A = this chain, B = another copy of it.
Amino acid sequence: MLQRLRGFRDMYPEYMRARRIVFDKICSVARSFGFHEVDTPSVELLDLFRIKSGEEIVKQTFSFVDKGGREITLIPELTPSVSRMIAARKDLIKPVKWFSFPKMWRYEEPQSGRLREFYQFNADIFGVANITADAEVMALAMEILDSLGLKGKYVMKFSDRILMEELLRSLNIEKIEEAFRIIDKKDKIPEERFYEEMLKITSEENVDSLISLLKLSGDVDTILSKFEHFERSEILASLKDLLKAYGKTATLDLSIVRGLAYYTGVVFEVHDANGEFRAVLGGGRYDRVVELFGAQPTPAVGFGMGDAVLELLMRREGVWPEEKIEVDYFIAIIPGFRKEAIEIAMELRRSGCVVDIDLSRRSIGKQLKYAHRINAKYTIIVGEEIKNGEVALKDMESGEQRNVKIGELKEVIEK
């Protein structure tokens, strides 16, 4: 028997119902913020991803040569495709606020919270350089989590590339790009290696100072009070005030890195409060990326949130929706009354109800058993009584059964 590929998922109805509730909620919060949905191809030229991420990305993608000899790939992220869309439409009204929730693929070793095929919610604002836009996307991220019942169960941590640059310069580090490159991989390399590489561009004392700076995490005002003389502090303080107006709080944490070479301002990550899982979501400001794809220079800020870690967290916190299918009515049929039963089904379906109907021509006993197993709230039994314009209505929870006029069916049930 042929199994599915490792890191891929089959999703059955019970599970899908829970996912649909979560996905709909996420999209509906994004819409309420004035974000509009877009969709992009799932397959793109591999070169599109090389532009932003270099040859590095190739190893992590499902990429291949197609029958036309083109190097193509399943998309591992959304920014390149969306940037191309921005570039292609000169008439777009800025700010542009877009979201999408596509499948993505990464050729990585599957593990808890990391799959080869996953869905990722993305929201971005293009065309606003002001910190107001950073606040709007960070608030959106937190409002989504709050709306999913995760209030108090997560921490929004942020850092800032410009502040970091000021800090590096204060440590007499002039090779800023090189320093960011090293800081970027700090958590993936041994501390000695970090020292070794840093010592090529600054003194041992400065590396020690840098390391303690990178450990700073906590209340925004407390940390910023150490950096009052830095220009960027004022902006970050105003970010904190804006978030407060949204009813949200964030922690300043200089260890948040997220590819400082790629981001140009605020970077942020949400982690579960226990720190048990990988990041729930991450994002930041990337003002110099969109122009790489042929657009006018376009300031941009946004975030991405995969479905896997979010689900782990929601399950742990007991807020993952119940996984069960259900229908409003099952219509059981006494032989000879199928036509009438179908007519009743269609009337209820058109009025917005979820209605299943016997298709198997089984006994009434078996039909009722099936109705129980698909969690029907009511069973409508269509038989002889239809000649008096009546059907039997059975409440599947209480077991109570009584005859009801067809015309009064909806009314009786709504009570």
A167 close to chain B: CB less than 8 A: no
Residue of B nearest to A41 (CB): B8
- Asked if A37 is an interface residue, CB under 8 A from chain B, the answer is yes
B-chain residues with CB within 8 Å of residue A62 when the two chains form the complex: 43, 66
Hey, what's the 0/1 contact readout for A339-375 against B, CB within 8 Å counting as 1?
1101100100110111111111100000000100110
Q: Which of B32, B37, B97, B346 contacts A349 (CB 8 A)?
A: B32
Q: Mark A287-324, 1 if CB is under 8 A from B, else 0.
A: 00000011000000000000000000000000000000
Query: Which of A72, A246, A349, A374 is most buried by chain B, counting CB atoms within 10 A of its CB?
Result: A349
> How many residues of A are in contact with the other chain, CB < 8 A?
97
Judge if A406 is at the interface, Cβ distance under 8 Å: no
Q: Which of A32, A354, A358 has the most CB of B within 10 A?
A: A32
Shortest A329–chain B CB gap in Å is 9
Check A277 for interface membership: any CB of B closer than 8 A.
Answer: no
Contacts of A370 in B (CB 8 A): 93
B16 near A36 with CB under 8 A, answer yes
- CB of A51 within 8 Å of the partner chain: yes
> A227 interface residue, CB < 8 Å from B?
no
Q: Are B67 and A65 in contact (CB under 8 A)?
A: no
Separation of A354 and B44 alpha carbons in the complex (Å): 32
The CA-CA distance from A263 to B31 in the complex, in Å, is 43
How would residues 85 to 103 of chain A score, 1 for a CB under 8 Å from any chain B CB and 0 otherwise?
Answer: 1011100011101100001
**Min CB distance, A195 to chain B, in Å?**
34
Task: Please encode chain A, from 128 to 154, with 1 for each CB lying within 8 Å of some chain B CB and 0 for all others.
Answer: 101011001001000100000000000
For the complex with contacts A93-B373, A128-B359, A245-B340, 17 further pairs of A-B residues with Cβ separation under 8 Å are A5-B44, A10-B39, A10-B88, A16-B36, A16-B39, A17-B36, A32-B349, A32-B355, A33-B349, A33-B356, A34-B357, A42-B42, A42-B117, A43-B117, A67-B107, A245-B339, A247-B346
Interchain residue pairs with CB less than 8 A apart (17): A2-B47, A5-B72, A10-B81, A10-B85, A32-B352, A34-B356, A34-B357, A42-B42, A42-B103, A43-B74, A43-B117, A64-B64, A93-B370, A95-B359, A130-B360, A130-B361, A136-B359
User: A interface vs B, CB < 8 Å?
Assistant: 1-5, 8-13, 16-17, 19-20, 29, 31-34, 36-45, 47-48, 51, 62, 64-67, 70, 72, 74, 81, 84-85, 87-89, 93-95, 97-98, 103, 105, 107, 117, 125, 127-128, 130, 132-133, 136, 139, 143, 241-242, 244-247, 293-294, 325, 327, 330, 338-340, 342-343, 346, 349-350, 352-361, 370, 373-374
